[in-house]
Amino acid sequence: MPFLTRRAILQSMLAATGLGGGARSVRADPVPSGFEAALRQAAGQTVYFNAWGGDQKINDYILWAAGALKRRHGVLLKLVKLTDTAEAVSHVLAEQTAGRQDGGSVDLVWINGENFAAMKSAGLLFGPFTQMLPNFRLLDPARNPTLLVDFTIPTEGFESPWGMAQFTFFYDSARIPAPPRSMPTLLVWAEQNPGRFTYPAPPDFIGTTFLKQALHELTPDPAVLRRPSDPAQFATVAAPLWAYLDRLHPALWRAGRTFPESTTAQRQLLNDGEVDLYMAFNPADASSAIAQQLLPDTVRAFVPEAGSIANTHFLAIPFNANAKAGALVAANFLLSPEAQARKQDPAIWGDPTVLALDRLAPEERADFDRLAQGIATPRDLGRTLPEPHPSWVAALERGWTERYAH
């Protein structure tokens, strides 16, 4: 799997250059000097936007944004589809190591979690820049702290919030009248219904999140996940998770001998009638898929009784981006009420907005009020659980691969 190779390359490069620890960031004066200057400089620039490309509805939304940016600002937004965000991080790190301080190949990247932590610690980010964006004033971090914190790491203006996420389960109500709402009951259900559940193989983002969700529910002390993973204690902390998976895997689709590569692939398995559940980080994912006739209209959503992991996903600009002005203009547009309302529409993408609706003009707020919620979007998302420290991602993925990758 290419993303495993790229992530391994990234980790080895961080170790080799001594940039894996600490919180060093590029803090040069922003270029251009302000947003008005960015608007002037951006005309005619090409912005290479590196983003996960595994969902066509997201790709279509980005293409719509590209059209709007070209018409309004003369900015050409080019989507670079990634299998894993670590690909973009490794590109930027390789350029830094080679001394390429300007003219980089990545101008804007969709990012969060361990990839942001790696870029921030290695000094791979441009900024801070969020205070330069006029639309940043439409956020309310006091009410939503995850707008300024990414997997426990302060963003410090090096990421612009783009959307909200909460780990959500979806099931076909025509086949499951009462879905399992906890990890222990999911295990019982899977053993009673062999072959009807699976999850994406880590390091797929949803697959890794399934591990984090399970560990949060199964560990006696979830607070330990907020601290850096301690190699001396990892085996003890992770033991309940591995014991759980050892029992769960024989009851999975294809007896756990193979796993879907992404949440999109798992969703297709549900649509094909091969499994009865799937997971996504977008609570409106199933509603959007139903609107596009990718799922039956009997699919519904739930979150675990203990709550589910939630976070914000972001946009960042590499330190050596070739089109910094264009990237700033693009980030600001993607934060606009128009773009955020379209993104939240279940018929388009269904990704929840980061904007504080009470900070919008009445006509802007009306665009959100008119949106249909969708029949498969949960009305109550329940309790939110914090993301673990980024170091847990690599530790869990490494442990999973050693035990279960075939």
Q: What is the pLDDT of residue 13?
A: 44
Residue 108 has pLDDT above 90, yes or no: yes
For the segment 19-47, the average pLDDT, to the nearest whole number, is 71
Say how far apart CA 286 and CA 284 lie, in whole Å: 6
**In this model, does residue 259 exceed pLDDT 60?**
yes
Which pLDDT value is given to residue 357? 96
Confidence of residue 47 (pLDDT cuts 50, 70, 90): very high
Residues 384-397: what's their mean pLDDT? 94
pLDDT exceeding 70 applies to what percent of the chain?
Answer: 93
> Residue 6: what pLDDT?
45
Nearest CA among 342, 282, 311 for reference residue 155? 311
CA 90 from centre of chain: 18
pLDDT for 8: 52
Task: Give me the residues paired with residue 108 across strands.
Answer: 49
Could you tell me the two tokens for 172? 């076909």
Q: Which of 72-81, 342-351, 378-387 has the highest mean pLDDT?
A: 72-81
Q: What is the pLDDT of residues 176-189, one digit of tens each?
A: 999 999 999 999 99
Same fold for the domain at 2-163+312-369 and the one at 166-310+383-404? yes
Residue 369 · residue 363 · CB < 8 Å: no
Helices 114-121 and 391-404: angle between axes, nearest 10 degrees: 120
Tokens of 256: 């756990």
3-state secondary structure of 275: coil
Cβ neighbors of 33 (< 8 A, separation 6 or more) are none
Confidence tier at 3 by pLDDT (50, 70, 90):
very low
Helix residue ranges per DSSP H, 103-171: 114-121
For residue 398, the model assigns a pLDDT of 96
Q: Is the pLDDT of residue 351 over 60?
A: yes
The whole-number pLDDT of residue 16 equals 40
pLDDT bin (cut points 50, 70, 90) of residue 380 is: confident
Q: What is the pLDDT of residues 80-90, one digit of tens each?
A: 999 989 999 99
Return the pLDDT at 33: 85
Structure tokens given for 217? 């529910």
The amino acid at residue 364 is E
The residue whose two tokens read 């190699």 is: 231
What is the reported pLDDT for 11?
52
* Burial bucket for residue 356 (CB in 10 Å: 0-12, 13-18, 19+): middle
Architecture of the domain made up of 166-310+383-404: 3-Layer(aba) Sandwich (3.40)
Q: Give pLDDT tens digits for 305-314.
A: 999 999 999 9
Torsional class of 34: left (φ above 0), alpha (ψ -120 to 50), beta (otherwise): beta
R_g (Cα) of the chain, nearest Å:
21
pLDDT at 132: 96
Average pLDDT over residues 344-348: 90
CATH superfamily entry for domain 2-163+312-369: Periplasmic binding protein-like II (3.40.190.10)
Cis amide leading into 32 (omega within 30) = yes
Tokens of 292: 């596009």
- For residue 138, pLDDT over 80 is answered with yes
pLDDT of amino acid 40: 95
Q: What is the mean pLDDT of residues 305-326?
A: 96
pLDDT tens, 355-370? 999 999 999 999 999 9
Residue 24 is which amino acid?
A: R
Q: Give the separation between CA 278 and CA 171, rounded to whole angstroms.
A: 7
Mean pLDDT (whole number) for 14-31: 42
Residue 27 banded pLDDT, cuts 50, 70, 90: very low
How far apart are the C-alpha atoms of 271 and 311, rounded to whole Å? Answer: 27
What pLDDT is recorded for position 280? 96
3-state secondary structure at position 301: strand
Count of residues in the chain:
406
Tokens encoding 325: 């002005």
Q: What is the mean pLDDT of residues 11-29?
A: 41
Backbone angles phi, psi at 172, to 5 degrees: -90, 110
pLDDT averaged over the chain?
91
Query: Which residue ranges make up each domain of the chain?
Result: 2-163+312-369, 166-310+383-404
pLDDT of residue 21: 39
pLDDT of residue 297 exceeding 70, the answer is yes
